[in-house]
Structure 1
Amino acid sequence: MTPELPKPIAEFVAANAHLNVDAMLKPFAADAVAHDMGKSHRGHAELRTWFEEEVIAVKAIFTPDTAREEDGRVVVEGPAHGDFKGSPIRFTYRFALEGDAIKSMEITA
């Protein structure tokens, strides 16, 4: 069962389920930053490239199964499956929101 998520995170998860890059970008602030595997991606242009190369290319779909608030962030956990080694892998996403937008996202396995 998918947990109840704040609107921008729910929009991101839904867009990811369809591997739709434009819709995945929509809930992010223009200056948003994502941290994944020791790398940072800032702004829509860098996020788009990262999504295309690291998510769409391997059909990585994240399916959250838990969500909680922790230290002012929304922490969402669940498996991601796709065409990558070790699939599925359980990930933790930590989101910082600003208004109705995702300001930052940190992903750890």
Structure 2
Amino acid sequence: MSLPETITAYLAAHEAHDTDAELRLLAPDATVTDEGHTYRGHAEIAAWLRRSASEYTYTSTLTGTERVDDDHYVATHHLEGDFPGGVVDLHFRFTLHNGLIERLVIGP
């Protein structure tokens, strides 16, 4: 299954650690939840993106996609690296609104 262009562009920017490109794909009032913390708006999300990009070294492989409905999609990634546990499958749960990412929840 193919994902909407907004999501594929976000995932490519995320892998390239291109924070500016990621932010262009997020609604101004977007929220991102990762590791139990929720970040609201571009300023908080940008700080989280920059910190998370430098925290660990890892490889990421897209292993699955799912369309839940017209506005909700899931992209599953297999990560291996120097983070605690070393291996994890993460689900990136996207909510779209007006062509932008309104909400992203990352977790197992």
2:43 to 42, 45, 51: 45
Match of residue 84 from structure 2: 85
Higher strand share: 2
**Could you tell me which amino acid in structure 2 is paired with residue 70 of structure 1?**
V
2:16 pairs with 1:18: yes
TM-score, L = length of structure 2: 0.84
2: CA distance between counterparts of 1:60 and 1:11?
20
Please, which runs of 5 or more residues in structure 2 have no aligned partner? Answer: none
1: CA distance between counterparts of 2:61 and 2:14?
9
2: CA distance between counterparts of 1:82 and 1:16?
16
TM-score, L = length of structure 1: 0.84
Match of residue 103 from structure 2: 104
Identity of aligned residues (%): 29
**Could you tell me which amino acid in structure 1 is paired with residue 87 of structure 2?**
P
Please, which runs of 5 or more residues in structure 1 have no aligned partner? Answer: none
The count of residues paired between Structure 1 and Structure 2 equals: 107
**Could you tell me which amino acid in structure 2 is paired with residue 35 of structure 1?**
T
Cα deviation for residue 35 of structure 1 reads: 1.0
Q: Is the alpha carbon distance of 1:62 and 1:46 closer, same or farther for their aligned partners in structure 2, counting shifts above 3 Å?
A: farther
